[in-house]
Amino acid sequence: MTERLILISGATGQQVGATARALAGKGFKIRALPRNPDSDAARALAATGAELVKGELDDEASLKAALAGAWGAYAVQNTWTAGVEGEEAQGHRFAKVARAAGVQHYVYASVASADRKTGIPHFDNKSRVEDTVRSLGFPSYAIIRPVFFMENLPSPWFLNGDKLVSALDPKTVLQMIAVRDIGQYGALAFTDERFKNLELDIAGDAATMPQTAEILSGALGRPIEYMQIPMSEIRKNSEDFALMLEWFEAVGYDADIAGNAATYGVKPTSLKEWAATLKK
């Protein structure tokens, strides 16, 4: 039987790159639409057998060409590179072009709680893209909604020298997920029949920022201290980001970590397990 072709957009990004790797050897042909085909990440993906094609999420003609013959598609767009409005436009465009191309199973990478009308711009724009995915009449679709990425923690947004910096209250518990786990769920979305027309929030662990700093200290072999800064400082750089942190404090994610693990067989990567993979 001819292998089913899956197009993965932004495949050198963290979550979709993990999905592409998780799908390797599962009986699919993977076609990747990396942002930079010459990057090390793209070359590593090609080494797994994925076909790399040039394409732009803002260029409908290139999307049509990339989707030609595709049975499935995994779509992710990035607010921080495209902007809130740009990401949303890309999400609507990719879904509509995929439907016109005859894609049979469409998987959209959203964000946890996007369906809860959070008032966070880069959550609500994904909610509107979800509406489009549902409305297009794909033979089947899945919406995967990951929580906060553990991989964000070592970035300058959070880790600065010996300080883990955020505006979050030290008592706020934040659900997190390792990119590897997102890849496992992304692969299941194409291999497990239970993911037909399924919408699923996913997470792997939960911790406060002081607890996170303690775990990072042990993993990195140096003391890491949590430092809370005023929300006004976050707001100076990004109203969107500040609204997200305020929502984390007031409401927060509610993915069923234990229930999902029991139902779908994906062992959650704990924050401590993930941190152990960091280079000291």
pLDDT in tens, 179-220: 999 999 999 999 999 999 999 999 999 999 999 999 999 999
When divided into structural domains, the chain yields a total of 1
Q: Is residue 87 part of a domain?
A: yes
Which of the two residues, 43 and 245, has the higher pLDDT score?
Answer: 245
Q: Which of these ranges, 32-46, 59-73, 174-188, 241-255, has the smallest mean pLDDT?
A: 32-46
**Residue 182: per-residue pLDDT:** 97
27 has pLDDT over 60: yes
Residue 141 lies in a domain: yes
Cβ 189 vs Cβ 142: under 8 Å: yes
| Within a domain: 138 | yes
Q: Tell me phi and psi for residue 147, to 5 degrees.
A: -85, -160
Nearest to 34 by CA among 51, 11, 57, 56: 11
What CA–CA distance (Å, rounded) separates 62 from 48? 23
Predicted local distance difference test score (pLDDT) of residue 1: 45
* CA 251 – CA 114 distance, rounded (Å): 13
- DSSP line for 136-175: TT-SEEEEEEE-EEGGGTTSTTTEETTEEEESS-TT--EE
Domain CATH for 192: 3.40.50.720
Asked whether the beta carbons of 107 and 186 are under 8 A apart, the reply is: yes
Looking at the chain, the whole-number percentage of residues with pLDDT higher than 90 is: 80
Count of CA atoms in the C-beta half-sphere (13 A) of 48: 25
Domain that holds residue 17: 4-147+178-202+254-266
- Give a yes or no: residue 274 inside a domain: no
Burial 201-228 (b: 16+ CB within 10 A, else e): bbbbbbbbbbbbbbbbbebbeeebebee
Mean pLDDT of 113-117: 96
Between CA 215 and CA 111 the distance in angstroms is 25
Residue 61 lies in a domain: yes
In a domain, 236, yes or no: no
Residue type, 69: G
Which of 65, 128, 133, 62 lies closest to 99 in space, CA to CA? 133
For residues 91-117, give the mean pLDDT: 97
Give the pLDDT confidence of 250-268 residue by residue, as tens digits: 999 999 999 999 999 999 9
Q: Residue 112 domain-assigned? A: yes
Please state, in angstroms and rounded to a whole number, the distance separating the CA atoms of residues 41 and 35. 10
Q: What is the mean pLDDT of residues 261-280?
A: 95
- Answer whether residue 78 is part of any domain: yes
Band (pLDDT 50/70/90 cuts) for residue 139 is very high
pLDDT band of residue 45 (cuts 50, 70, 90) is confident
